[in-house]
Amino acid sequence: MEKVSYPFAVGRIRALEGKLIDAARWARLREADRAEAVRLLAEIGYGGGTARDDPEQMIRAEEEETRREIAALSPAPVWTDLFLLPIDAHNLKACWKGKRLGQDVSRLLTDGGTVPAQVMRISVEAGEHSLLPEAFQKALEREYEGLLDFSAAVDRAVFEQVRIVLKKKKNPLLSRYFAAQADFTNALSVLRASALRWNTEEFARMLVPGGTIPPEAFSEALASGQPLPALSRGDFSSAMERVLTEYGADGSLTGAERRFAEERISLLAGGGDDPFSIGPIVCYLLRRQTEARELRALFVKKA
């Protein structure tokens, strides 16, 4: 298969950006009742005509189409695959749970990761893990008390796999992006731990590697009940302060998660419109992922 050039891929991505839901459409979606909101999505072809009365099916269809587009356009799958590891993580958790409980979890699996969903299922069931990412293989070598311990280990494995890949093949923009993601993920864990009154041991297992904030800062933030200034010690202090200041004002975990996602996208977009950069391509993928997450939240409110 002929390799796709960066200028061609970025040009196609710019055209695909027209599929993103614009501000006017979002305003109409928020004002509409559930049935009207579904109709508004169908009007713009969202979901490709799949199950027009089922918003979740429409969202999943659109996510899968976006991943197919990225796979077809990516000049460097080694980079874009890093953004698909959370799908592998979701499928691995589901398969491990299914094997442990003797349940069929096929309907819970999602296509579009770096490992086909059914390959993941067969690998876990057979105990043959050689087709999985290296960090996932290592996670499966250990024993776990329960699903929560395993889930936390898989979350850490995602960031460990990113580290493995970026150590072999350098990319300064993506190294900075994933360092920020690790810091933001750990900051969200502090907020959740505080809200749920987790003890130190419960909290520690949720931390992921690869960030720039000293590990002790997270424990300090949890113990004090004040995420700032402890969490402003890393390389992304300005973004951290913006998000956590707003969290202090509204107390919304969902809002903090959304703002951290926006900060991550801004970091990638800040890499410019270089037609020889992976930035615009993964930026589009992240915007579609954010759009899907926002739509799910919107339809939960309309249920």
**DSSP class per residue in 144-211:** -SSHHHHHHHHHHHHHHHHHHHHHHS--HHHHHHHHHHHHHHHHHHHHHHHHHT--HHHHHTT--SS-
The per-residue pLDDT of the chain, averaged, comes to 93
pLDDT of residue 50: 75
Quote the pTM value: 0.92
pLDDT of residue 276: 65
Per-residue pLDDT, averaged over 15-40, amounts to: 95
Assess whether pLDDT exceeds 60 at residue 36.
yes
Alpha carbons 10 and 170: distance in angstroms, whole number: 21
pLDDT of residue 272: 56
Q: Assess contact for 16 and 284: CB atoms under 8 A.
A: yes
Assess whether pLDDT exceeds 70 at residue 168.
yes
pLDDT of residue 2: 60
Assess whether pLDDT exceeds 70 at residue 273.
no
Assess whether pLDDT exceeds 80 at residue 288.
yes
Per-residue pLDDT, averaged over 243-250, amounts to: 96
Per-residue pLDDT, averaged over 213-224, amounts to: 93
Tokens standing for 144? 């776990």
Tokens standing for 69? 């587009």
